[in-house]
Structure 1
Amino acid sequence: MKFDDPNQALSVRDAAFHTVHDYPGGAMALGVRMGVNGMTLSHQVNPNNVGKFSLSIEKATDIQALAQDYRILHSMARELGHVAVKVDQAEEENVMANIADTVREFSGYLTSVTDAVADSRVTDNELREIDAHLCEMVQQANHLRATVAHMNQQLKKRVVDLHTQGKAISTKIRKGRG
C-alpha cells in the first residue's frame, strides 16, 4: 500500500495547481466535469494569482474527488503538522494476509528507524524515509482494521438474517403450518 510521497512537500497552492493541470486534459477537461469554466479554474489554482482568484474549500474538495488526487489534502495536513490517512472500506479479504502485510510494514518502519539512528544522527532524508514507512504502516494497520470491521458487519447481517428467518418459522408453527 502506498502513501502520499512525503518527499514531495508541495505548498497547498502548488498542490492545487498540479492536481488540476496533471488531470488528463488539464483544467479544461476537469472544468467540464465540474461544470465550471476551465480558464477560470486554471486561474483559481495559479499560485501567482493570489487574491483576485481564489479556490474555495468546496471546489478544492470537488477537484480532489473528481481527479482522485489528494495532494491538496496532504499538503494542507503537512502544513498544519498532520498526516492524512485514507480510511479503507474493505471487502472480503484474507485476514491472515492482511496481518502479515501489517507486520511487514511495521518491520519496514522499525528498520528505517534503526538504520537512521545507527550512527547516532538522523538526516532529513532519513527522517523522510521514517515518515514514509510510518505512514505506510498506519495505512496498512487501518486496512487491517477495515477488513475485520467488514467481518463484524457480515456477522451482524447473518445474525439479523437468522433472527428474521427464525421469526418466520415461529409464525408458521403458531399458525399450524410448520
Structure 2
Amino acid sequence: MNITDAAYATVHDYPGGSESLAPRMGSSAAVLRNKVNPNNDTHHLSLAEAVKAVDITNDDRILEAWAASRGYALVKMPQVFECCDSAIVEMMGKAWETHGDVGREITKTLEDGRVEFTEVTRVESRIFAHAQVLFNLAARLRGMAE
C-alpha cells in the first residue's frame, strides 16, 4: 500500500469516517476528505496532520507505508511489562513461523524457473514480517535486561 492509499484508508476506515475523525483533528469532514482523496491535486495532508491522524486513529498504515517506501521494516517496541520468559518463548515460535513463511514464498517463486516482480514483492513482504518479529524479540530481551 502506498502512502496516499494508506492516508485515504486511515480516514475512511475510522469508525464514522471523516465525519467522525475531522472534528478531532480540528478540521471539517469535507476538507479532510479532500486532503486524503488520491484524485485531488490541490489539497494535501500535512505531515503534522498525518501524525495526528495516526495518533487519534491508532492506525499505523501511513507510518508503515512510508517506512516500506523507504525500504525499512517498522517494528513496534514492546512495553517493559510485556517482557517475560513466556513472551520470549511466544516470540521464538512466531520467529520460526515467519522464517518458514519466507522459505515457502521463495520456493513458490522459484517453482516455474522464472522470477516475477510481483513474486519478489511477496518475498520481500515475508522477509519484512520475519525481520519485525526478530527485532521485536531483541527488544523484548532488552526490556528484560537488568
- TM-score when scaled to structure 1? 0.69
How many angstroms apart in 1 are the aligned matches of 2:138 and 2:45?
Answer: 35
Distance change (3 Å), C-alpha of 1:147 and 1:75: closer
Task: Note the residue ranges of structure 1 that are not aligned, 5 or more in a row.
Answer: 1-8, 156-178
Shift of residue 134, structure 1, vs aligned partner: 0.8
1:34/1:62 contact within 8 Å kept = yes
The aligned length equals 142
Is 1:123 paired with 2:116? yes
Is 1:141 paired with 2:131? no
Tell which structure's C-alpha radius of gyration is larger.
1
What does the per-residue CA deviation read over 1:114-165, in whole Å, with 9 as the maximum and x for residues that have no partner?
332233322344323312211210111122112101111xx2xxxxxxxxxx
Shift of residue 75, structure 1, vs aligned partner: 3.0
Name the amino acid aligned to 1:48.
Answer: N
After TM superposition, the runs of 4+ consecutive aligned structure 1 residues lying more than 6 A away are none
CA RMSD of aligned residues (A): 2.1
How many angstroms apart in 1 are the aligned matches of 2:122 and 2:78?
Answer: 27
Task: Note the residue ranges of structure 2 that are not aligned, 5 or more in a row.
Answer: none
Query: What's the secondary structure of 1:149's corresponding residue?
Result: helix
Q: Superposition pairs for residues 26-37 of structure 1, below 5 Å?
A: 26-37=17-28
Q: 1:66 aligns with which of 20, 41, 56?
A: 56
Query: What's the secondary structure of 2:136's corresponding residue?
Result: helix
Q: Superposition pairs for residues 20-59 of structure 1, below 5 Å?
A: 20-51=11-42, 53-59=43-49
Shift of residue 40, structure 1, vs aligned partner: 1.8
How many angstroms apart in 1 are the aligned matches of 2:29 and 2:131?
Answer: 37
How many angstroms apart in 2 are the aligned matches of 1:86 and 1:138?
Answer: 9
Structure 1 match to 2:65: 75
Name the amino acid aligned to 1:21.
Answer: H
1:109/1:130 contact within 8 Å kept = yes
**Structure 1 vs Structure 2: percent identity of aligned residues?**
28
How many angstroms apart in 2 are the aligned matches of 1:57 and 1:43?
Answer: 15
